[in-house]
Amino acid sequence: MLLETERIAYEQVSGRVSSGELLQLVIAHEQFAWLHRISEMVVQVDEMLEADEPISLDNFQKLIADVRRLIVPLETGNTFERKYYNALQSEPAAVLAHAEISRLLMSKVEE
């Protein structure tokens, strides 16, 4: 969803791009660099889920805390916070997803 928002912004200036071109942009273009932090979180979650040993409560709580710190939209924040804020301002689906993830992140973790 955030990727699609950024793709639309890019295409408004530079013209349409194919899926292959978009992948290259996500990897190497400065405009998409802010999305790397979310990608890193997704990889971290995948690695935890695919690990042979169960996820420890400490590791899970650290991950939740990291995500909570990451997804803070601020109009005057760092690059990620500003871009995230702008995405929420322009994309209703991003607002709904943000509300859902925020709700989940505030849920009590059962031991």
Q: What is the pLDDT of residues 96-109, one digit of tens each?
A: 999 999 999 888 76
Which two three-digit tokens encode residue 73?
Answer: 């939209």
| pLDDT, tens digit, 9 for 90 and up, residues 34-57 | 999 999 999 999 999 999 999 899
Which two three-digit tokens encode residue 46?
Answer: 């995948």
d(CA 96, CA 35): 18
For residues 44 and 87, is the Cβ–Cβ distance under 8 A?
no
pLDDT for 110 equals 63
Which two three-digit tokens encode residue 72?
Answer: 């803070």
Would you say residue 24 has pLDDT above 80? yes
Unique residue bearing structure tokens 């042979």 = 52
Residue 26 DSSP symbol: H
Which two three-digit tokens encode residue 52?
Answer: 């042979």
